[in-house]
């Protein structure tokens, strides 16, 4: 890839010219940031430097990797080749593309950026019409995306870095002054509903009967759908087997992309165990000790005697064992809003909101302009007309399953959290170069050695 004409920044030009193959095979984790010291016996090292935060453009490049990268392509069949019957061909929750894929383009991953100036939620921006690699454009979009949620670095109080806050040696090098961290959290709820509907678009005889493995494998609100023949009673699928619907995979892929880019820029990059997710989000089980932290909204289901067997919750006072995050608000605005109560008055409304977001007024499959920008020669309208949508039976059956889950277990989803936290974050930083030169063969790449001259002169 060659640098666009508008790019007049030596660091960006270096990044765009670096071969992907070299970046992948030379990638190594670099844990030691500028200004950090390493107590390691005879290999102990004390830095003579002050910490050095990333520059605005350096952070902006990495922020760009979390966001929109254009429009995706609905390149899927519309009919079953065996009998030419139409099949559902509009599974996506988004049509804008991202730098990593996600199931049904759900894009449930949200990022927080943590640096010396505070902790920020990174808002997803619409596609940009500006040059993707123009320094000024990158910086401006990064500024637009950042929503400050804390005026300090997300961390526990001094002296509290032991487990469960931090894991083992990570506490000595993770989240130090001068470092920038990217923490992903994944809203599973919208794709959980969407994926249920997609699952139920299978042909006759291949639609499974959902059963509840946390309720003695009873039908999960689908008795009438088994009785009327819509679901196959001999093909049983436990709700627990669905897990997070693979929606969490996007976060891992995005982190890998960001790590490769940071390494190619000549920065240190380290994916590792984050601050404990329950502590970081403000789980009520930990907030008395560590504070509200990010301050997510949590739902704690009302204790029911059946929870003793279903969830091994022995007494009402332990009900918060099943608390889970359902959203985040800042300045009166919902930054993350899961598709479940209390964000919606009922699960019926939550399911209907997902359907409206796809096929209702203003939904993604009602926006012909978007598809005109994807297709050429008039094929946009053909796709919108010919590609199948969810049958009403599919929507109604999925709604019954979701209503059952919330009514039975007091939360949605029940077998996984509405917001999944992978439990890892990416730390990027300027390297303590002398440390790597002193102790390691091939400890630095050319990109690391020339980073200062390309990015800071």
Helix (H, G, I), strand (E, B) or coil at 361: coil
The stretch 137-152 carries a mean pLDDT of 96
- Domains of the chain, start order: 10-455 (3.40.109.10)
Residue given tokens 């693979």 in the structure block: 246
Q: Sorting pLDDT into bands at 50, 70 and 90, what band is 457?
A: confident
List, for residues 327-385, the tens digit of each pLDDT value.
Answer: 999 988 999 999 999 999 999 999 999 999 999 999 999 999 999 999 999 999 999 99
Alpha carbons 340 and 319: distance in angstroms, whole number = 19
Ramachandran angles phi, psi of 389, nearest 5°: -115, -175
Assign residue 294 a region (left: φ > 0; alpha: ψ between -120 and 50; beta: otherwise): alpha
What CA–CA distance (Å, rounded) separates 404 from 381?
A: 38
Cβ contact 183:294 at 8 Å: no
Q: pLDDT digit string (tens) for 399-418?
A: 999 999 999 999 999 999 99
Q: Residue 1: which pLDDT band, with cuts at 50, 70 and 90?
A: very low
- Decide if pLDDT at 4 tops 70: no
The mean pLDDT of 218-224, rounded to a whole number, is 98
pLDDT tens track for 160-201: 999 999 999 999 999 999 999 999 999 999 999 999 999 999
Q: What is the dihedral of CA 411, 414, 419, 422, to 10 degrees?
A: 160
Cβ neighbours of residue 383 under 8 Å, at least 6 residues apart?
74, 371, 375
Length of the chain measured in residues: 457
* Alpha carbon distance, N-terminus to C-terminus of the chain: 24
In Å, the largest CA–CA distance within the chain is 75
């Amino acid at each position: 890839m060659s640098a666009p004409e508008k790019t007049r920044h030596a660091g960006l030009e270096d990044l765009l010219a670096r071969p992907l193959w070299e970046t992948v095979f030379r990638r190594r984790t670099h844990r030691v940031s500028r200004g950090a010291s390493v107590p390691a016996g005879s290999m102990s090292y004390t830095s003579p430097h002050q910490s050095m935060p990333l520059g605005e453009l350096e952070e902006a490049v990495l922020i760009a990797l979390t966001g929109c990268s254009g429009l995706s392509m609905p390149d899927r069949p519309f009919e079953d080749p065996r009998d030419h019957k139409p099949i559902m061909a509009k599974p996506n929750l988004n049509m804008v593309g991202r730098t990593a894929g996600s199931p049904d383009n759900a894009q449930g991953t949200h990022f927080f950026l943590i640096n010396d100036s505070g902790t920020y939620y990174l808002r997803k921006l619409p596609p940009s019409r500006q040059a993707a690699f123009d320094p000024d454009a990158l910086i401006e979009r990064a500024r637009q995306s950042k929503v400050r949620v804390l005026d300090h670095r997300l961390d526990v109080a001094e002296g509290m870095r032991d487990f469960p806050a931090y894991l083992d040696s990570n506490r000595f090098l993770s989240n130090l002054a001068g470092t920038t961290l990217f923490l992903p959290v994944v809203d599973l709820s919208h794709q959980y509903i969407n994926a249920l509907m997609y699952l139920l678009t299978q042909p006759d005889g291949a639609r499974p009967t959902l059963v509840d493995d946390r309720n003695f494998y009873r039908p999960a609100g689908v008795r009438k759908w088994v009785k009327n023949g819509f679901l196959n009673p001999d093909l049983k699928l436990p709700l627990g087997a669905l897990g997070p619907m693979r929606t969490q995979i996007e976060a891992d892929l995005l982190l890998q992309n960001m790590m490769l880019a940071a390494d190619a820029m000549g920065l240190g990059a380290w994916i590792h165990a984050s601050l404990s997710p329950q502590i970081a989000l403000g789980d009520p089980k930990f907030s008395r000790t560590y504070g509200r932290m990010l301050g997510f909204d949590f739902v704690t289901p009302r204790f029911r005697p059946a929870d003793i067997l279903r969830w091994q919750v022995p007494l009402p006072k332990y009900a918060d064992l099943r608390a889970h995050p359902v959203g985040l608000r800042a300045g009166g605005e919902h930054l993350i809003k899961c598709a479940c109560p209390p964000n919606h008055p009922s699960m019926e409304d939550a399911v209907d909101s997902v359907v409206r977001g796809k096929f209702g007024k203003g939904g993604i499959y009602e926006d012909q302009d978007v598809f005109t920008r994807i297709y050429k020669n008039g094929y946009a309208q053909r796709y919108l007309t010919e590609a199948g949508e969810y049958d009403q039976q599919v929507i109604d059956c999925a709604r019954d399953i979701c209503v059952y889950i919330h009514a039975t277990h007091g939360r949605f989803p029940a077998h996984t959290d509405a917001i999944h936290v992978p439990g890892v974050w990416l730390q990027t930083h300027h390297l303590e170069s002398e440390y790597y030169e002193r102790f390691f063969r091939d400890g630095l790449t050319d990109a690391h050695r020339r980073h200062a001259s390309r990015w800071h002169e």
